[in-house]
Amino acid sequence: MARDRTAIAVDTPGFGASDAPLQPPTINDYALAMNDLLDFLALDRVDLLGDHTGAKIAVELALLNPNRVRRVVLNGAPVYSAAELDALRKQDHNVETIGAAGEHILARWSWAMRQRQPTTPLDAVLLELAESLRAGSNVWQGHHAAFGYQHRDNLPKLEQRVLVLRAKDDLWTPTARARPLIREGQMIDLPGWGREMLLTRFEAVAPILRGFLDSD
């Protein structure tokens, strides 16, 4: 991707090596932080790739900057029913309990393994787990923000061309419901690919992205 582009991977505030927000953020807060980054880097025209929660941030950033954001790629764009959303919010406990025996680590590993495709290497699952643990007790904030922002309401507002990648992960079924919400663009079904595909299948993903982003 960086052969002839400036390719930037951004840490969402509170994750990676970034500072945590003072208050639990919304998707709009995350998007405004990304907009500040674009201002700081003096980037006037960009394409966006958002992964899961990042996909919602990408949609909001594109809505805030219709002239700055050219195209949008979403890896997963779940459209939930009211019952599904209620169940997800009940699982969102707002505080990560850190167990002295590492119970929270084992619980996260068990969840990641339930989502894993058989072809996904264990080191890719471990990398994803390690990144989530860097957020400490604030790891819930990303999902909390995501549950408060609905693709059903916002995806149809996008005027930019949109590509949705639908992998066979925990968002497989709800992402299918986003297909009719795309005003201009397409959804590609990837039934053999799992949630770590941006790590494990980058050689296959890159041509898909280039084909979409480089076309007129």
- Whether the per-residue pLDDT at 95 is higher than 70: the answer is no
How does pLDDT run across 167-203, given as a tens digit for each residue? 998 899 999 999 999 999 999 999 988 877 888 888 9
Beta strand 161-167 pairing with 185-190:
parallel
* pLDDT reported for residue 111: 84
For the chain, what is the mean pLDDT?
92
| Total of domains in the chain | 1
Considering the domain boundaries, does residue 209 fall inside one? Answer: yes
How does pLDDT run across 66-79, given as a tens digit for each residue? 999 999 999 999 99
Considering the domain boundaries, does residue 11 fall inside one? Answer: no
Please, are residues 62 and 87 in contact by the beta-carbon 8 Å criterion? no
Q: What is the CATH number of the domain that holds 166?
A: 3.40.50.1820
With 0-12 / 13-18 / 19 or more C-beta atoms within 10 angstroms meaning exposed / middle / buried, residue 154 is middle
The residues, any chain, with a CB within 8 Å of residue 148's CB and separated by 6 or more, are 26, 27
CA distance 136 to 155: 31
The domain of 61 spans 27-213
Considering the domain boundaries, does residue 6 fall inside one? Answer: no
CA distance 171 to 10: 22
Considering the domain boundaries, does residue 7 fall inside one? Answer: no
Task: Please state the pTM of the whole predicted model.
Answer: 0.92
Residues composing the chain: 216
Considering the domain boundaries, does residue 70 fall inside one? Answer: yes
Considering the domain boundaries, does residue 1 fall inside one? Answer: no
